[in-house]
A and B are shown apart, each in its own frame.
Chain A
Amino acid sequence: MLKVILEQDKCVASGQCVTAAETVFDQRDEDGIAVLLEEHPSPEVEAEVRQAAAVCPVLAIHVTTDN
């Protein structure tokens, strides 16, 4: 089971995670800071989620296949 952790207070609102995995990440309206839509995304977005973790400029996204 995929698990995604987002460290929101590190976020700088670059939006890269949304571009990489739009069904898993969104940005909140007041300041564009990232929000996690799916803590356990289903397997077909695993590659996208890992891409999001790779491009996050502040390394705020962590993906594991274990809780």
Chain B
Amino acid sequence: MMNIDRDVLIVGASAAGLSVAEALRRGGHRGRLTLIDAETHFPYDRPPLSKQLLSGAWDASKVALRSHDALSALESELLLGDRAEHLETAALSVRTASGRILTADAIVVATGVTPRCLPGSDDISGVHVLRSLDHAAQLHQRLRPGRRLVVVGNGVMGSEVAATASAMGVNVSLTGKASTPMAPQLGSFASSLLAAEHKAAGIGLYGDVGVENLVVRGGSVEGVALSSGEVLPADDVVVAIGSKPATNWLSNSGLSLDDGIVCDSFCRAAPNIWAVGDVARWNHPDLGSLRLENRTNAAEQALAVAADILGNGEPYAPIPYFWTDQHGLRIQVHGTIPADARLQVTDGDVTSGRFVAIATTPEEDRPVAVLGWGMPKQTRARRAELQTANSVAL
């Protein structure tokens, strides 16, 4: 059977899964296409959940990933509200919570990640994770000027939530294991700039700390006891301590799992089975075993997977990219900023608060990342330099 006529089953209909479906159709795929998702909402975009949707600037209709017309145009079967529970690798079949058995000639796993929780914090009122539209809507309802929010986890999500909430007039404390917010993603210099932005917005910063326990009374959270001994009063707590790939349902599937579904450089997890997006740990030809949790990778990796399903695959070797919007600044990183990176400002300047910098590794002096700080146009221009440098180096 020709590749374009194969039946394809995509487990997970969010950014990555939907992008695979669209790319398949664009590539001439004519076979049956089935998408299945545990969510009951039509597919939506996640980045706005910690920004415009949380602040209330947008309502839920604005985060839809595709219009109904665009979804119909896929000519696929979209099964919502049914969670995949078991995969038979050899038989290429998936069993769902409702008891459906779906078989296909090719399966794409795009089940994403689930947020990590603080142990013992289920069912405590006022404790939130933020992954879904429902989480964001609930949290939005709770955040009012003057209320006290403690964010546990000072990575990208925690930092964004802190920034968004402080602009809503909430009294915010941002706590976490990193010394300064987003230090692992930004490097120490940029991370200290971000810390200054947070402080200027009135956010209390607590780095190098973990949570000892939550202070709970009558089933509601009242405070967060940090490992430093301090106890921060809280009306609400957002737990942003990272996510784990949603692979529990695959534990006896036969797929290799190791902080994600393990794949080769073509994103193949097993014969006729691919993984894509947040859940996929693939072999990046230059960077080795890698799992990227960001929006851009969902779309880009989907193109690679669709191409491979259609028989035109190539090793997937993107330059990782993510962005975050905090305090009116668009912060962008192309590539990966190593902890000991040297930053050279190429546009703007740090004192004016807007700049672009190229990060080089001390040993090789080779550009490995571009950091954009409130200068999206110039950042885009510098990204091209990174690509040239990398292709020359390789």
Q: Do chains A and B touch in the complex (CB under 8 A)?
A: yes
**Chain A residues engaging chain B, CB cutoff 8 angstroms:** 1, 22-23, 37-38, 42-45, 65-67
Answer whether residue B47 sits at the interface, using C-beta atoms and an 8 A cutoff: yes
Q: What's the nearest-Cβ distance from chain B to residue A14, in Å?
A: 19
Residues of chain A within 8 A (CB-CB) of B239 are: none
Q: Which residue of B lies closest to A37 (CB)?
A: B380
Compute how far the CA of A22 lies from the CA of B330 in the bound complex, rounded to whole angstroms. Answer: 13
Chain A interface helix/strand/loop/mixed:
loop
A1 lies within 8 A of B303 (CB)? yes
6 intermolecular pairs with C-beta atoms under 8 Å apart: A1-B19, A1-B23, A1-B303, A23-B376, A38-B380, A43-B45
Which of B70, B299, B377 makes the CB contact (< 8 A) with A66? B70
- We find that the number of chain B residues with CB closer than 8 angstroms to chain A is 23
B296 lies within 8 A of A42 (CB)? yes
B47 lies within 8 A of A43 (CB)? yes
B380 lies within 8 A of A66 (CB)? no
Compute how far the CA of A44 lies from the CA of B15 in the bound complex, rounded to whole angstroms. Answer: 13
Q: What's the nearest-Cβ distance from chain B to residue A62, in Å?
A: 14
Q: What's the nearest-Cβ distance from chain B to residue A59, in Å?
A: 19
Q: What's the nearest-Cβ distance from chain A to residue B179, in Å?
A: 27
Q: What's the nearest-Cβ distance from chain A to residue B304, in Å?
A: 12
Tell which of A1, A44, A67 has the most Cβ of chain B within 10 Å. Answer: A44
B377 lies within 8 A of A1 (CB)? no
Residues of chain B within 8 A (CB-CB) of A22 are: 376-377
Q: What's the nearest-Cβ distance from chain A to residue B312, in Å?
A: 15
B22 lies within 8 A of A1 (CB)? yes
Q: What's the nearest-Cβ distance from chain B to residue A17, in Å?
A: 13
Compute how far the CA of A22 lies from the CA of B295 in the bound complex, rounded to whole angstroms. Answer: 21
Tell which of A22, A37, A66 has the most Cβ of chain B within 10 Å. Answer: A66
Q: What's the nearest-Cβ distance from chain B to residue A25, in Å?
A: 10
